[in-house]
Structure 1
Amino acid sequence: MTSKNFVLFDVDGTLMDAVENQRRVWHAWAARHGLEGDEVYAVALRTRPVETFAAVAPGAAPEECLALLHALEDEDVRTGSYGAFDGAAALLRALPADRWALVTSNYEHRVRGRFERTGLPLPGLIIDAASVAEGKPSPVPYLTAAEKLGADPADCLVVEDAPSGVRSGLDAGMTVWTVNTPAPHPDAHRHFPSLAEAAPHILALVGRP
């Protein structure tokens, strides 16, 4: 395989375990609307927030629904418990500072808050939901990251856990590896059951022992 010089990481589910946090946020949101938490969360796992609101609370104003969700997410960043996946901190510290970035569907201030809480090092570049007009599975987020890093998409390795992120990276013309899922995505170039297992291979691609 041709050596890849840049690494672009998804955040939630890839570097950090935030499943329980997302569940708590959606349960709190559902309670404010008199809805059953598990039912709302099941929909939220499959759809974007605006689509979730339309499905579970069609009579509510989408702007108010989103404002409440954002407030709950911000509160969770301040008070919730987060855990980085094994090997994440050592991997990020070992990468050249100008050769990796975060590409997330979340917002930068939340990512920074979570990283500070878990002690993960931050890169110089974070492409978040406010950075692009189209989110994953569009290739725009990963292409934007490559452009800002001055990288050819063909020289970028994407590390993901979610199908939408895999599609985003593939359509951007990048190599995509998946981690932290029991089964590989059928279109990903390579799969590792955990980030820790992927770490030495990621470092090898950027020329680090």
Structure 2
Amino acid sequence: MLTIQRTPTARRYVFFDVDGTLIDALDNQRRVWAAWAMRFGLDPEEVYRVALRTRPMETFAVVAPDRDPRACLAVLHELEDQDVRSGVYKAFDGASELLNGLPPGSWALVTSNYAHRVRGRFARTRLPVPAVIVDAAAVEHGKPSPAPYLLAAECVGAAPAQCLVVEDAPPGVQAGLRAGMTVWNVNVPVAVAGAHQHFTDLRDAADDILAFVSGS
């Protein structure tokens, strides 16, 4: 259940995506989708190629149109939960220092994953967990819809103009832009179209993120 902060604790706020932004989960995603593909007798490389650019239900429709999508999703969730328990995760360089350096209440997580998996990954990588996590279960429409970021702003008691979004992928960048927020793009070699600033890695963005939140 989301925590609503009725009284703002900061003048500015930062909302982080998780996978690809704070935690490097690319290898984990590839392994999960490979295991999923093997369960259904499909080509792992082809499944992963589709999964990279679509949401799970859309992936199932393309690679397994004759299968029950609910059964497909149940298997995917099973494998993802197993990976959270046994997979190897790594936080991006500078993530721990950045999150621990932010004032309490000034930041939140906005993810297309589920909160219990995020908490599990954060525990494994020893990252601090904020009071607010907007996950896939919190909104009807995920990224690139602005709904997840607008809900995060509501939870911390902020206007969109007070908020910075930090994202790695196009759907998240578009979600932040559509929410009317400042959007910075990290951990990719080439900037995603529309992002207000681009940093090739998270550590390079850390000082600017801290300065944004402090209003300096």
Q: Work out whether residues 12 and 215 of structure 2, in 8 Å CA contact, stay in contact via their aligned partners in 1.
A: no
Aligned equivalent of 1:44: 51
Aligned equivalent of 1:120: 127
Aligned mates of 2:62, 2:185 — CA distance in 1: 30
Q: Structure 1 residue 35 and structure 2 residue 42: aligned? A: yes
Structure 1: gaps of 5 or more residues: none
Percent identity over the alignment? 65
Aligned equivalent of 1:131: 138
Aligned mates of 2:49, 2:168 — CA distance in 1: 18
Q: Equivalent of 1:25, from 11, 32, 35? A: 32
The number of equivalent residue pairs is 206
Aligned equivalent of 1:110: 117
Deviation at 1:54, TM superposition (A): 1.0
Q: Equivalent of 2:105, from 95, 98, 106? A: 98
Q: Which amino acid aligns with 1:18?
A: A
Q: Work out whether residues 14 and 107 of structure 2, in 8 Å CA contact, stay in contact via their aligned partners in 1.
A: yes
Q: Work out whether residues 95 and 208 of structure 1, in 8 Å CA contact, stay in contact via their aligned partners in 2.
A: no
Q: In the TM superposition, what whole-angstrom CA distance separates every residue of 1:92-111 from its partner, at most 9, and x where no partner exists? A: 00101111000000000000
Aligned equivalent of 2:206: 199
Q: Work out whether residues 178 and 188 of structure 1, in 8 Å CA contact, stay in contact via their aligned partners in 2.
A: yes
Structure 1 length-normalised TM: 0.97
Superposed counterparts of 1:1-209, under 5 Å: 5-207=12-214
Aligned mates of 2:213, 2:68 — CA distance in 1: 47
Structure 2: gaps of 5 or more residues: 1-10
Deviation at 1:186, TM superposition (A): 2.1
Structure 2 length-normalised TM: 0.94
